[in-house]
Structure 1
Amino acid sequence: MTTPAAPLSILHVVRQFLPNRGGLEDFVANLAREQARLGHGVRVLTLDRLFSQPDRRLPARERLEGIDIERIPFFGSHRYPIAPSAFRHLGDADIVHVHAIDFFFDAFALARPLHRRPMVATTHGGFFHTSAHSRLKKLWFEGPTRLSVRGYAEIVACSESDARMFEGITPDGVEVIQNGVDLEKFAGAASAEPRRALLTIGRFAHNKRLDRLLATLRALNADGAGWRLRIVGVPSDVSAEALTAEIDRMGLTGAVTLHTGLDVPAIRDLIGQSSLFVSASQYEGFGIALIEALSAGLVPVAHPNDAFAWLAQRHPSIALCDFSDAEAAAGAIRSAYAQLENGEIARGAEDLSDYRWSTIAARYVAVYEGALAETGHGLTASAA
């Protein structure tokens, strides 16, 4: 990789960011931190309210975890929040990096003849996380999204499934850069002794199918085996109250604990009380939580969505099972636990080096260089 002649001014644009927690927020935060460590100027532009706390307005400017954040007001649905003031915050940005496919993605593409900034976008699963409104989504994807991609110098997919989705509408093709993962955050944190304790981490969202995890736990405990499930995350289109009510309705009050708003040390403590990571998610843009689970030494048992199936081909300790069948899923979990008890699974033996943020950040800087060269906005040191 060549090195830019001078540090870049990078503007990341994402609808939700710190203090909110989730896969998208963590991705942008880690990438921004690593790029700043490399000497680049980095800002994050985001919305001024969290979808989970719509009545709380966040500061217009703030620095959190070493990242400069600018926040703007919006109106409309959280599915497509409209924020017209976004263009006032371009500042000195050499490159605009838009994350996910939403208003920002379309608006910056539409306005490109006016702002003329080189732009890169990362797909993060598009907007097909659930089957809801699938016909409307397909029409939008084939119409406005197909037009918007033409405004970007590079479309980056964070998984092979995303690449397949976007290649059909992207004239110059799609580059795949898998998500980076903070491999140190939970490294080796899993319980040293096997425990009948399951952990899942992620948004409380319909596509995560937490209802199927609860049904699986009920099947696991039908014989009184005493399995426990810890659900860690933040409310999204499923509220904590609704989830608690479902836990009570299924008679799992003593076996399931719900944890929201935890910091990293608190999550690490919960991992230390667990042996297996479980996910019934029907759709994932990549699967950061699963890689974090591997780094922690948890044994993953996951639903075979495209992202998890792709990861399972590369990491043999990931067990796949169909969580729509609670009895079969319970059997897969029992089998994984038995292998763990018998020492048949070498925890922590997986090579996860490809996911290091230093590697991912370097690849994105190379993409930015290409975008700058393509649009005539800059030369690399090697070309100078």
Structure 2
Amino acid sequence: MAIVEADRVREKPQPETAPLIVHVVRQFLPNRGGLEDVVANLARQTVRRGYRVRVVTLDSLFTTPENKLPPRENIDDIEVVRIPWSGSSRYPLAPQVFRHLADADLVHVHAIDFFFDALAWGRLLHRKPMIVTTHGGFFHTRKYVAIKKIWFRTLTRASALAYCRVVCCSASDLKQFSEIVPDSLLIENGADIGKFADTASRRAKRRIVTIGRFSVNKRLDHLLDAMVVLKTRDAEWHLDIVGAESDLNRADVEAAIESRNLSGLVTLHVSPDNGAIRRIITNASLFASASEYEGFGLVALEAMSAGLLPVLNANDAFATLAERHPAIMLADFTDARAAATAIEAAYQGLSRQTETMRAGLLDATRGYSWDIVAGRYIDLYRSLDIVAVENI
């Protein structure tokens, strides 16, 4: 069935004959993170619109590679296929991906990694139309930046030629990828604005939440340094760190907290479920992120949907969000005193206009609903139908 016909079966899905979208992504549920949430939400919305959806992903989480996940699973009517991999989590090698594309009507690759390159160079083997969503590329840290730039301008540029469209999920991605793919398309990520909707404290509190995987680029060290300053100014300040282990584990983060004498003022929550996160948010008023790089800033939007006022490091993605949503406060988290002052100013502003600011934060996130964003992807899928047939 042609991709363009999916909407015709929306009311009465026909699982065996509906068009099949195959998403290829290195990590998926049960892992939690920005990339995983984006693919899961897009997949769910696509299923609701009458498509069949398969996610091909790796058979273990990067944090526990020895624990193999089920090779096949059905999650919310999404067929999940997990394949073995080797090598580095930065560029995992998983050639078995080619075994799961034969019946695909369209292959949607997520992120710029092995899958992006392998499926491009293996185009003559699988002969499937493809699009890719950039998810920040691979410039998440400044490490090896010179080599990354050379790779980007050579191999990434060549691989991109195999894709019908390169979709950028942020303005910063669009600026970067337009250098090698001039017709790159912007579809900004959606946010699950119902997950924590309107759960933040109804009165202003000196309590901060940060949410995200424990990665070096998230710069939890900078946020903890700001907490050291805040505790000298008011003993009521408290920080809840919520996330999953990544290149930093629980022991690393606990050591960073203890070395700054912040025990009791900082609480660590490792891999809590959404219900637990909601309970944490109900006691907080502010969200903070010292991240030095973000592909889009999804977590900040989810925080805003909860009614948390964000104080964010001034990276490109967060700066773009702040331009659109003036309530967001930017700070230089490399300067602990300046960051602490920005957090205090956010609290003071919120305490003066709690209900007004809360209403503004909730309203600002409505345009990022996954229903709206998924509709843009569906329009793209349908527009590629003729291109896909001609290419094959």
For normalisation by structure 1, the TM-score amounts to: 0.95
Q: How far is the alpha carbon of 1:213 from its aligned partner?
A: 0.3
The equivalent residue for 1:35 is: 46
Q: Hey, what does 1:26 align to over in structure 2?
A: 37
Alignment counterpart, residue 287 of structure 2, candidates 272, 277, 280: 277
CA contact (8 A) 1:188 1:348 kept: no
**Residues in 1 aligned to 2:76 and 2:66: alpha-carbon distance in whole angstroms:** 24
The corresponding residue for 1:364 is: 377
State the shift of 1:342 in Å: 1.2
- Which residue identity does 1:296 align to in structure 2? A
- Please list every run of 5 or more consecutive structure 1 residues that lacks an aligned counterpart in the other structure: 379-384
CA contact (8 A) 1:294 1:348 kept: no
SS at match of 1:347: helix
Contact conserved, 2:200 with 2:308, CA < 8 A, in 1?
Answer: yes
Write out aligned runs for 1:328-367 (5 A).
Answer: 328-343=338-353, 346-349=357-360, 350-367=363-380
1:117 and 2:98 correspond: no
- Cα deviation digits, residues 193-223 of structure 1 (max 9, x gap): 2111000001111111100000000100013
Runs of 4+ in 1 over 4 A off after TM superposition: none
Deviates further, 72-81 or 361-370: 361-370
- Letter of the structure 2 residue corresponding to residue 75 of structure 1: S
Where do residues 209-224 of structure 1 align in structure 2 (5 Å cutoff)?
A: 209-224=219-234
Counterpart CA distance in 1 for 2:381 and 2:75 is 25
Aligned counterpart, 1:203:
213
Q: Residue 58 of structure 2 is aligned with which of 47, 59, 72?
A: 47
1:308 is displaced (CA, Å) by 0.6
Deviations 1:159-214 (A, max 9, x none): 0100111111115x110000011111111000112111000001111111100000
Q: Secondary structure at the match of 2:88?
A: coil
Q: Which amino acid aligns with 1:368?
A: Y
Which whole-Å CA distance do the structure 2 matches of 1:10 and 1:333 have between them?
44
1:323 is matched with: 333
The secondary structure found in structure 2 opposite 1:56 is coil
1:280-291 paired onto structure 2 within 5 Å: 280-291=290-301
Structure 1 residue 187 corresponds to structure 2 residue 211: no
Query: Matched residues in 2 for 1:213 and 1:146: separation?
Result: 36
Q: Distance in 1 between matches of 2:125 and 2:65?
A: 32
Secondary structure of the residue that 2:66 maps to in structure 1? Answer: strand
Q: Name which of structure 1's ranges 120-129 and 364-373 shifts more when overlaid on structure 2.
A: 364-373
Q: Which residue in 2 is equivalent to 1:130?
A: 141
2:143 matches 1:144? no
**1:204-263, Cα deviation, whole Å (9 max, x unpaired):** 111111000000001000134321100111111111111111111110111111111111
Displacement, 1:289?
Answer: 0.7
Task: With a CA cutoff of 8 Å and minimum separation of 6, indicate the structure with the bigger relative contact order.
Answer: 1
How many residues were matched structurally? 375
| C-alpha contact 2:4 2:381 (8 A) present in aligned 1 | no
Q: CA deviation at 1:366?
A: 1.6
Supply the distance in 2 between the matched residues of 1:17 and 1:277 (Cα, whole angstroms).
Answer: 25
- In the alignment, is residue 74 of structure 1 matched against residue 85 of structure 2? yes
Which whole-Å deviations, capped at 9, do the CAs of 1:86-137 have from their partners, x for residues lacking one? 1001131100000000000000000112211000000000000000111111
Q: Which amino acid in the other structure matches residue 135 of structure 1?
A: A
Partner of 2:4, secondary structure, is coil
Give the C-alpha shift of residue 351 in structure 1: 2.9
- The alignment partner of 1:5 has SS state of helix
Distance in structure 2 (CA, Å) of the matches to 1:124 and 1:116: 24
Judge conservation of contact 1:120–1:371 (CA < 8 Å) in 2. Answer: no
- How far did 1:8 drift? 2.4
Residues 339-359 of structure 1: CA deviation (Å, up to 9, x unaligned)? 111116521323323211111
State the alpha-carbon separation in 2 of the partners of residues 131 and 319 from structure 1: 24
SS of corresponding position for 1:96: strand
Task: Give the match for residue 381 of structure 1.
Answer: none
> Structure 2-normalised TM-score?
0.93
RMSD: 1.4
The answer on whether the counterparts of 1:209 and 1:282 sit within 8 Å (CA) in structure 2 is yes
Check conservation: 2:102, 2:126, Cα contact below 8 A.
Answer: no
Question: What CA distance in whole angstroms lies between the structure 2 residues aligned with 1:65 and 1:191?
Answer: 31
Letter in 2 for 1:8: P
CA distance in 1, matches of 2:201, 2:314: 25
Which of 253, 265, 268 is the equivalent residue of 1:255?
Answer: 265
CA contact (8 A) 1:194 1:275 kept: yes
State the Cα distance separating 1:142 from its structure 2 match.
1.2
DSSP 3-state at the match of 1:257:
strand
Tell me the secondary structure at the aligned position of residue 364 of structure 2: coil
**CA contact under 8 A between 2:44 and 2:78: conserved in structure 1?**
yes
Aligned to 1:382: none
- Point out where structure 2 has 5 or more consecutive residues left out of the alignment: 7-17
Q: Find the residue that maps to 1:54 and give its secondary structure.
A: coil
| Partner Cα separation in structure 2 for residue 45 and residue 54 of structure 1 | 17
The partner residue of 1:301 within 281, 294, 311 is: 311
